[in-house]
Amino acid sequence: MMRYLLDKFWNEDVWLPPNTTWEDIEPGPDKVVVYNDHTHLLYPIPLAFVLIALRHVLEKYWFAPFGKSLGIKHTRSKKAPSNPKLELAYQECSKIKHKQLFFSREQICALAKQLDMTERQVERWWRLRRSQDKPSTLVKFCENAWRCTFYFYSFSYGVFILWDKDWLWDIDQCYIGYPHQGVTSDIWWYYMISSAFYWALTLSQFWDVRRKDFWQMFVHHIATIALLSFSWVCNLHRIGTLVLLVHDCADIFLEAAKAAKYANYQKLCDFIFTIFTVLWIVTRLGIYPFYIIWSTSIRAPMLLPMFAAYYIFNSLLCLLLCLHMVWTWLILQVAYKSINAGKMEGDIRSSSSDMSDSSHQSNHSTPNRINNKKEK
């Protein structure tokens, strides 16, 4: 039964162009080109732990000292006194998607009577417990510095290895000769390290600063890994490298803007955010739809016979474009509010504990949402 299901799932009529079999693109010494090996998709998992270790070393010996030299404090709030019943009530409130930021008046009164405490004591414990979950500014700075460093490396490496590739300048070369397109060692490393990075993000989410968009980003990372794996199995790595290159560009400046914000370099933050906004629109709403999506949707059917898996792949790329449009609207809202305020207001990406402890404080939820995109 398992063999039957696997055969149905890996049906060549679904995954490969007409008149092509898995044996045709199976790696081997007798083949003219070096084909993608699907078993190599396991390599990014151990590589992810290497990246996690590298991140730890860089944060400890480079980013943290650099952040301290900029005056960023590594201060943590005072811990709330141990109180199991209040802790249980706090955990229950935290499960409601962070919409219930405080105990209700009824809860405060009930807990105060139950624990023989005053209402003010309960409220004070609540504030201390919420502050206890807040990461220090230095921790957030180090996280953004690491991501900025990786995106800068990834984009630079991508430009370096693709500069002499014919499909960077003539996108039709992504389809001419498909699927008999060999993979070179530099492209292999580009794919493996990019996949490892998203595996590392997925794993590190469970012990990093817990964000309010935890599950959204978790699903995003899994979807990204699936898309990379999908294009690798189907030998669509050429168009995959172009998608990676376009998406890494703007992310460098997003992470740099957040790091500048944490370091209290407001003017620098505003300047970098302006560059990010322009690059985002140019790459995500310009190059991506009018160069890549146009090519995959219009040119590809002219140059090669279509098959089911290609339609799935192209649908995912189009779905990503729809997400870009939504995120662009959020980014423009941030830019508009920043212009009116004269500076970037709020944290560009908030954690669950970055919300205000006052119900009447100004709502900056839009600036806090724009990083719900992850590393697309």
130 compared with 69, residue with greater pLDDT: 69
Supply the pLDDT for residue 95.
43
Helix (H, G, I), strand (E, B) or coil at 205: coil
117 compared with 350, residue with greater pLDDT: 117
Instruction: Please return the burial class of 140, using the count of CB atoms within 10 Å of its CB with bins 0-12, 13-18 and 19+.
Output: buried
Q: What is the mean pLDDT of the chain?
A: 81
The average pLDDT across 186-211 equals: 88
CA–CA separation, 144 and 262 (whole Å)? 9
Supply the pLDDT for residue 62.
94
Torsions phi, psi for 139 (to 5 deg): -65, -45
Q: Residue 289 gets which letter from DSSP?
A: I
**DSSP letters of 300-340?**
HHHHS---HHHHHHHHHHHHHHHHHHHHHHHHHHHHHHHHH
pTM as predicted: 0.79
Residue 25 near residue 180, CB atoms below 8 Å = yes
CA–CA separation, 136 and 10 (whole Å)? 48
The average pLDDT across 235-263 equals: 93
Supply the pLDDT for residue 83.
66
Confidence of residue 213 (pLDDT cuts 50, 70, 90): low
Q: Residue 211 gets which letter from DSSP?
A: B
Structure confidence by residue, pLDDT tens digits, 142-170? 999 999 999 999 999 999 999 999 999 99
